[in-house]
Amino acid sequence: MSDFRITTSTQEPDLDTSMKVIYQWNYEPEVEELRRLYVKAAEAQWVAERDVDWERPIDHEKFSSTPLGAALPLEQTSYFQSLTTEQKWQMTRCTAGFRLSNFLHGEQGALMVAAQLVNAVPHTDAKFYAATQTMDEARHVEVFARYINKLDEVRPIAPALRTILDATLQTEDWMKKLVGMQIVVEGLALYSFREMRNLTQEPLLKDLLTYVARDESRHHAYGVQYIERCVPCLNDTQREELEDFALEAARSLIDQRNQQTFLTSVMQMWTEIGIDSVALLTSLRAERDELTRSMPGGRRLGPVQGFVIPTLRRCGLLSERVAKRYHEFLRENLSGNLVGDNLEEFLKRIPDLPEDTAAWVLGELQ
Ligand SMILES: [Fe+2]
Ligand SMILES: [Fe+2]
């Protein structure tokens, strides 16, 4: 070997994974809808360097419309409004940098899981599709890294996201990989990309999120179409195991302790740039009711209730047993009026999946 060494700061101990690799000797199309999706994905390939105009500087004024990712609009609080234009820009810049960094790390996880799926899924059409997704995810890592470098700096991964990615990479069960990645992680991503893409007025960010969101809606379709075909073939124990895997992943996204860790990191970052985080949160608490009223359609359901659970229901992975547990932990972590007081109300409030996810993600459907 030469003296080639990995010297980047991201080097860390390896993650041990075990995975069953499956050869498939039938090369004929078998799962028609996945074969069609593979062709569609091949036709929709884009090149980040060629198709996105990277020469444009980030438009500071327009960037201020980028949502900060909090449950309530922080940027409408009286504290935020009292900041100078420069302070507003600094706060929006680093908060969005933090959020985009987690998109970036999630994309790296997706890249590695998609590559694992090529090996692990048993159908040729599904292997072909996963190969196109691997290419898509590489491009997503490329564009988010590039945009963050223009905006801010790459910030560390949130521990809850890391937990889900590790569990998805480590499981030897290909259906759990599909559920962890295509339904939970990509469900979260689609929901967040949609919100950021539709609200930000910053042209470069809007452009790249448009490209990425289109790819992601295909990845979600792959998960849904494949899993809903496979679930009826499982016995009860296998189905319950799969439901529980999804539940654990979704739970770590919502868990208040994880939210607290997240908030602590963000507040630390704000303090470093001279923002009084305590004053900001005090003004948020005092103005909570008014801010909620100003939000179109009231408080948003969030990615788990608004998208991940509807997807699981569509795939046949929301039995009454597991729905009860979703209701319990969502009630512990969110307000009762969003979740419903009992299981029946909770189930009634779960929205249907949009008929055309690609149109939904681009804001063409509510
Ligand atoms: Fe992606
Ligand atoms: Fe994806």
165 phi/psi in degrees, rounded to 5? -65, -45
For ligand 2, the distance from its centroid to the CA atom of residue 18, given in whole angstroms, is 22
For ligand 1, the distance from its centroid to the CA atom of residue 110, given in whole angstroms, is 6
Torsion of CA 201, 203, 205, 209, to 10 degrees: 90
Report the distance separating Cα 197 and Cα 364, nearest Å.
12
Q: Encode the chain (366 residues) as per-residue pLDDT tens digits.
A: 566 777 777 767 788 888 899 999 999 999 999 999 999 999 999 999 999 999 999 999 899 888 887 777 888 899 999 999 899 999 999 999 999 999 999 999 999 999 999 999 999 999 999 999 999 999 999 999 999 999 999 999 998 899 999 999 999 999 999 999 999 999 999 999 999 999 999 999 999 999 999 999 999 999 999 999 999 999 999 999 999 999 999 888 877 777 778 788 888 999 999 999 999 989 988 998 888 777 765 556 788 888 999 999 999 999 999 999 999 988 887 765 778 889 999 999 899 998 888 898 888 876
pLDDT in tens, 196-205: 999 999 999 9
Please check whether residue 113 is in contact with residue 181, taking contact to mean a CB–CB distance below 8 angstroms: yes
Q: Which residues of 228-239 are buried (b: 16+ CB within 10 A; e: fewer)?
A: ebbbeeeeeeeb
Report the distance separating Cα 311 and Cα 220, nearest Å.
9
For residue 246, CA distances in Å to 4, 11, 164, 203, 284 come to 40, 29, 10, 35, 32
Report the distance separating Cα 354 and Cα 30, nearest Å.
27
Q: Which DSSP symbol is given to 350? A: S
Please check whether residue 131 is in contact with residue 118, taking contact to mean a CB–CB distance below 8 angstroms: yes
pTM for the full predicted model: 0.93
For ligand 1, the distance from its centroid to the CA atom of residue 25, given in whole angstroms, is 29
φ/ψ bin of 274: left (φ > 0), alpha (ψ from -120 to 50), beta (otherwise): left
Q: Which ligand is nearest to the CA of 117?
A: 2
For ligand 1, the distance from its centroid to the CA atom of residue 280, given in whole angstroms, is 33
Q: Which residues of 265-280 are buried (b: 16+ CB within 10 A; e: fewer)?
A: ebeebbeeeebebeeb
For ligand 1, the distance from its centroid to the CA atom of residue 137, given in whole angstroms, is 5
Report the distance separating Cα 355 and Cα 95, nearest Å.
33
For residue 10, CA distances in Å to 58, 140, 156 come to 27, 18, 10
Nearest to 259 by CA among 95, 100, 101, 70: 70
Q: Which ligand is nearest to the CA of 129?
A: 2
- List CB contacts of 215: < 8 A, sequence separation 6 or more: 41, 44, 136, 139, 140
What angle (nearest 5°) sits at the alpha carbon of residue 212, between those of residues 207 and 217? Answer: 130
